[in-house]
Amino acid sequence: MNAGEAQPAGGGTFPETSWTTIERSRSSDPEVAFAALNRLAERYHPALRTFLLRCGCPPQEADDVLQEFLTRRFLQESFLGKADPEAGLFRSFLRTCLRRFLISHHRSEARRTAVHSPGTTETATVAFTEPEAERLLDRLWAEQMIANARARLRAEAEAAGRAELCLALEGLLESEPTPGWVQEVSKGLGMTPNAVWVAAHRFRERLKWFIQDEVRQTVREPADWRAELEHLVAALRA
Amino acid sequence: MNPDFFASAAEVGPLGALPLTEGLHEDAEILGGDYLLLGRIGEGGMGEVFRAVQLSTRREVAVKRMRTGRSDVRFGKEVELLARLRHPGLVALIQAGVHAGRPFLVMELVRGHSLAQRLAEGPLPPREAVRIVREAAEAIDHAHQSGIVHRDLKPGNLLLDADGTVRVTDFSIAKDLDAPGAMTLDGQLLGTPAYMAPEQIDSRKAAVGPAADVYGLGATLCHALTGKAPFAGKSEVETLRAAATREPDWRTDWKAIHPDLRTICMRAMHPDPARRFASAGEFAADLGRFLDGRPVQARSVTWLERCARWIWRPWPLATVVALVVGMVGAGTLAGRMQRTRVQQLLRDWPKAAPEPIRVFGLVSSATGGLRASFNEDGRVFAWGASDGHVRLAHVESARALANSLRASEPVRFHQFLPGTHRTNLFVAADDGLWRVWTAGAVRRVLAEGKAEGGVAAFDASENGRTFVVGAGTGEVTGWSLHAGLGRPIFRSRVEGALIGLHWSPDPERVLGVSHLGDFRCWDLGSDRAIWSRRIPGVPHATAMTPDRDRLAVATADVSDPKRWRGELRFYHPSEGAELGAVHFYGSVHRMAFSPDGTRLLILFNPDRVHVCDAQGQRLFELIGHSKKMAGGEFSPDGLRLLTWDDRGNARLWDAHSGAPLTAFWSGAGGIAHATFAADGWRIGSGDIRPTGTLWDAGCPMPAGWDRAALTAELLREGSLESLRRAAWLNPSDGTVLRLLAKETRAGGMEPWRETEAVFLERRADRVGRHLLR
């Protein structure tokens, strides 16, 4: 059985992918379109912000630039119309747009500074080349998805009344629990070692499932998620 | 963030899809590696019942876990009986197993409540009560026709689905009519006093048979109509006393009940079993007549019958109590007196564990062994290593032989060629380069070649003089070894990557299967295929019976988006004709036939292991591995199964019952690959750390018995016919190897299960011939 290919069931459902959301954002119903844009903005905001910081923007400026990008470009009706599912990942599309936006922002800032402070002609440049920026955003994106998956795991554990258990297990989910560790946690939480082992196994599998789900949401064709995951793993290893 | 963990998200087990809101309680457990207990839904004398989820299929099931110390024999009995029952009115058995020493049964989950829970609110409307009991009677009639008496019919054991359909459950004290006696002698009170027939309380009155269930159904109907059990008392003994000494009060409790129903109940609960309805089916039919408004066939009780009932009932309390207490001692004593030495042995055999497996010898090497093999006479052991060396050891002395064979890359595969050239070894490395060495005193290369994409499949003729190599690219080459020199004799290809190459029954022909379903037969004399077929789906694994009369191909169904569904197809190797196909769920990783070709070991991804019959019908599941399976094979005598997972844990199983015999783990970092020597007494393993280990695999013979003594005892004990059934003899010397039977009432033997019977039928001639010598 290849569980990775299986349709999800139970508490986790596969919400619409980014591309589906983009299509919704083109809806003639302004409420549907705005809600979809909001979802997109929320989903990509953290990675884009970190990307700007890594590009050398001070935090205040990064927030301003991102806000401007989201309001002036992202919400622009024609902007998402240019996003072509066949042309590749939505993330790459956003990165290119944001870089261009950042360059044009720096240029206009430079012009403005030159008007107010004659003699200053230096134009701010973006710190990275295009391939470097791509790798950086991929890595940030992978981290973002892991963070999202962890947040979903925490929320579900809280709903199940297992917030404390989640806290105890969370840091150690990336490796097989050792007997000593299981013993220690079981004592601390007043659970049997067997129950702790089962819980650790459940949390780990669930986290993996959420990661997979996060990746699936970003691809247009369901079959593409594996390639995207491998790409992101490579970005993490780089 | 650990990138490896992130990468591992590509493969999520079924647990991942299960929300955390389910099954995270203090006593959470996963039984048999597949059943996650979600919560307890019931408890009884025999054990607890849990709602559970089967992780491999994600369906909800009910798991009944027996209490510690419960008789294994009774558990085995319950499994055996349930396996015989298939009726929509009976809760079906899905699987049975043992976890942490406690047996468990996996049953269909009935969503609803029991009749007892419903009756706690008061009596049912008569027509509803009659409908429920009638449905139960029809299901029980099916059990009777299968030779099984339930013996504990009561409202608590009738489950009502959400749509009101009745399902009878709990066959834990059921009786096999074909083998009475054994299960009633352990002195337990079998049944629930308020619903027990008089003959269940005192076996001197009559044998317990289907009539006892008719009584239980009558008592249940009585309860459903009146709202209280027929002989409700303060304690079990008081209730028992009432049931044994009195009849229900047919006047006071029944004033408001239809007279026909009272008549039916009186007949169903007649003290004399012979006067009750002749069968549960007849009881159901009479209830049907009542529902249809037709005259019922049960007659009113006559004066003579009243006298007869009086004769059946007058038991003083002391007698009843003495009977109940006496059952304990008398039953045990009677059982003991009956047992002879052989009977005791036969009774205990399934529980007798073989000698624990132990390390026979360790042979060190520079790096870890990736694969192990023995030559045909079992004297030479080879293990290939990740440093590209294949090292050899003399088995008896467990000493490494000088001069390893060196491949170019880590060794992917090696195998001794059969036949007279017992030390010719085929070795394939990761880069696709392969060589055939003569690994005797003089080491030299007899043939070499390169398989693009790596060696994907290999097989050799029975005399070891010809072999075929399949490449990952689909290319197949045939080689001949003559006069100490190998030469290519054949070259062809299949569409897609080869997944299996097998010699056909014709020694000049070879079969190949690709992952694209290209199935071909070639004559080694020409490069062209004699015939080709298209196998539907995506083939994953192949296996050929040792006598080459059947090729099994496991395929995945590409139309199933979940890729959970697959098929096991069987082909005739000569013409490629399809012999049959069965569906299964899961992705097959590897398959192997037993030496006699009657059984098929199937390793599913990740950790399920099934043993099927030759038609692919599942016989049982091996429960114990929790990691991804790496490989498995039958022992050469077909009695045991060896499996190992990718974490280096190996296990040995009884090949006929699926019972775990022992687990072993090489101290050298775990086992990468293991195999039996031809005599079945040695296991060789290539270990993850730099050793090859030779294990003493022991013998599945109870302690204190040698083969000759056991044969003599059995010959003295029974007729040739019973012996045929009682034991499987080693065809080579006629010694007894394995019990395959149980006692019958007449003192003879009969097979454990139907599947065993089929197995024995095939064996009978050979075994008989040896006995007659």
Domain match, B250 and B273 both: yes
Question: Can you tell me the distance from the alpha carbon of B532 to that of B476, in angstroms, rounded to the nearest whole number?
Answer: 15
| B769 or A182, higher pLDDT | A182
Instruction: Give the residue numbers of B annotated as catalytic, written as ranges.
Output: 152
Q: Work out the minimum CA distance from B360 to partner chain A, whole angstroms.
A: 29
Domain match, A31 and A113 both: yes
Q: Are strands B691-696 and B358-364 parallel, antiparallel or unpaired?
A: antiparallel
Q: Which of B562, B518, B510 is nearest to B537 (CA)?
A: B518
pLDDT digits (tens, 9 = 90+) for B344-360: 554 554 444 444 444 55
Q: Which of B15, B23, B605 sits opposite A1 (nearest CB)?
A: B605
Q: State the average pLDDT for chain B.
A: 73
Res B335: pLDDT? 34
pLDDT digits (tens, 9 = 90+) for B615-632: 888 877 887 776 778 889
Q: Which of B770, B692, B679 is nearest to B729 (CA)?
A: B770
Cβ atoms of residues B106 and B91 within 8 Å: no
The stretch B519-540 carries a mean pLDDT of: 88
Distances (CA, A) of B257 to B113, B270, B472, B527: 25, 18, 78, 86
Residue B591, SS3 per DSSP: strand
Q: Which of B5, B15, B606 sits opposite A202 (nearest CB)?
A: B15
Res B689: pLDDT? 64
Domain match, B172 and B70 both: no
Domain match, B119 and B65 both: no
Q: Work out the minimum CA distance from A6 to partner chain B, whole angstroms.
A: 4
Q: Which of B322-326, B594-598, B670-674 has the lowest mean pLDDT?
A: B322-326
> Which among A95, A127, A159 is the end of a domain?
A127
Can you list the alpha helix ranges (DSSP code H) found in chain A?
Answer: 18-25, 30-54, 59-68, 77-81, 90-116, 130-159, 163-170, 179-189, 193-216, 225-237
Position B511 confidence tier, pLDDT thresholds 50, 70, 90: very high
Position B764 confidence tier, pLDDT thresholds 50, 70, 90: very low
Please indicate, yes or no, if residue A138 is contained in any of the structural domains: no
Question: Can you tell me the distance from the alpha carbon of B41 to that of B51, in angstroms, rounded to the nearest whole number?
Answer: 6
Please indicate, yes or no, if residue A11 is contained in any of the structural domains: no
Domain match, A73 and A149 both: no
pLDDT digits (tens, 9 = 90+) for B434-470: 988 876 655 678 888 988 888 889 999 888 889 999 9
What is the distance, to the nearest Å, from the Cα of residue A148 to the centroid of all Cα atoms in its chain? Answer: 7
- Residues of B within 8 A of A165 (CB-CB) are 24
Please indicate, yes or no, if residue A154 is contained in any of the structural domains: yes
Question: Can you tell me the distance from the alpha carbon of B2 to that of B98, in angstroms, rounded to the nearest whole number?
Answer: 36
| B204 or B22, higher pLDDT | B22
Domain match, A123 and A156 both: no
Q: State yes or no: pLDDT of B477 exceeds 80.
A: yes
> Which among B108, B141, B160 is the end of a domain?
B108
Please indicate, yes or no, if residue A95 is contained in any of the structural domains: yes
> Which among B669, B696, B723 is the end of a domain?
B696
Domain match, B177 and B58 both: no
pLDDT digits (tens, 9 = 90+) for A43-102: 777 778 777 777 777 777 787 888 877 777 666 656 666 666 555 567 777 777 887 788
- The residue among B2, B4, B24 with the most chain A CBs within 10 A of its CB, best to mutate, is B24
Residue of A nearest to B10 (CA): A4
| B675 or A17, higher pLDDT | B675
Res B714: pLDDT? 47
Domain match, A166 and A211 both: yes
> Which among B653, B670, B696 is the end of a domain?
B696
Res B738: pLDDT? 43
Cβ atoms of residues B300 and B312 within 8 Å: no
Domain match, A39 and A104 both: yes
Domain match, B172 and B238 both: yes
Scan residues 46-105 of B and list those with Cβ closer than 8 Å to A. 56, 58
Helices B707-717 and B341-348 pack at an angle, to 10 degrees, of 120
**pLDDT tens, residue order, chain A (238 aa):** 333 333 322 222 333 456 666 666 666 676 777 777 777 777 777 778 777 777 777 777 787 888 877 777 666 656 666 666 555 567 777 777 887 788 787 777 777 665 544 443 333 344 556 667 677 778 887 888 888 888 899 889 888 888 888 888 877 777 766 777 778 888 887 888 778 878 888 888 899 999 998 888 777 777 778 888 888 888 888 7
Distances (CA, A) of B576 to A56, B512, B553: 68, 11, 12
The answer to whether the CB atoms of B1 and A146 lie below 8 A apart is yes
Distances (CA, A) of B338 to B175, B666, B745: 20, 45, 12
Domain match, B518 and B645 both: yes
Q: Which of B575, B531, B563, B538 is nearest to B553 (CA)?
A: B538
Domain match, A167 and A79 both: no
Res B217: pLDDT? 93
Q: Which domain holds residue A85?
A: 16-127
CATH number of the domain to which B565 belongs: 2.130.10.10
At CA B399, angle to CA B394 and CA B404, rounded to 5?
Answer: 75
Domain match, A168 and A87 both: no
| A19 or B134, higher pLDDT | B134
CATH number of the domain to which A61 belongs: 1.10.1740
| B203 or A99, higher pLDDT | A99
pTM: 0.42
Domain match, A21 and A109 both: yes
Domain count, chain B: 4
Q: Which domain holds residue B50?
A: 3-108
At CA B386, angle to CA B385 and CA B391, rounded to 5?
Answer: 20
The answer to whether the CB atoms of A143 and B24 lie below 8 A apart is no
Q: State yes or no: pLDDT of B208 exceeds 60.
A: yes
Please indicate, yes or no, if residue A8 is contained in any of the structural domains: no
The stretch B525-531 carries a mean pLDDT of: 84
Question: Can you tell me the distance from the alpha carbon of B336 to that of B332, in angstroms, rounded to the nearest whole number?
Answer: 6
Hey, is the C-beta of A147 within 8 angstroms of any chain B C-beta? no
Res A234: pLDDT? 86
Please indicate, yes or no, if residue A80 is contained in any of the structural domains: yes
| B767 or B686, higher pLDDT | B686
The answer to whether the CB atoms of A6 and B17 lie below 8 A apart is yes
Domain count, chain A: 2
Tokens of B22: 């389910």
Q: Which of B388, B378, B387, B497 is nearest to B435 (CA)?
A: B388
Domain match, B547 and B692 both: yes
> Which among A73, A93, A127 is the end of a domain?
A127
Position B403 confidence tier, pLDDT thresholds 50, 70, 90: low
Domain match, B443 and B494 both: yes
The stretch B356-374 carries a mean pLDDT of: 55
% of chain B with per-residue pLDDT over 70: 66
Indicate the length of chain A as a whole number. 238
Q: Work out the minimum CA distance from B48 to partner chain A, whole angstroms.
A: 18
Domain match, B99 and B126 both: no
What is the distance, to the nearest Å, from the Cα of residue B550 to the centroid of all Cα atoms in its chain? Answer: 23
Res B708: pLDDT? 43
Cβ atoms of residues A134 and A92 within 8 Å: yes
> Which among A103, A127, A151 is the end of a domain?
A127
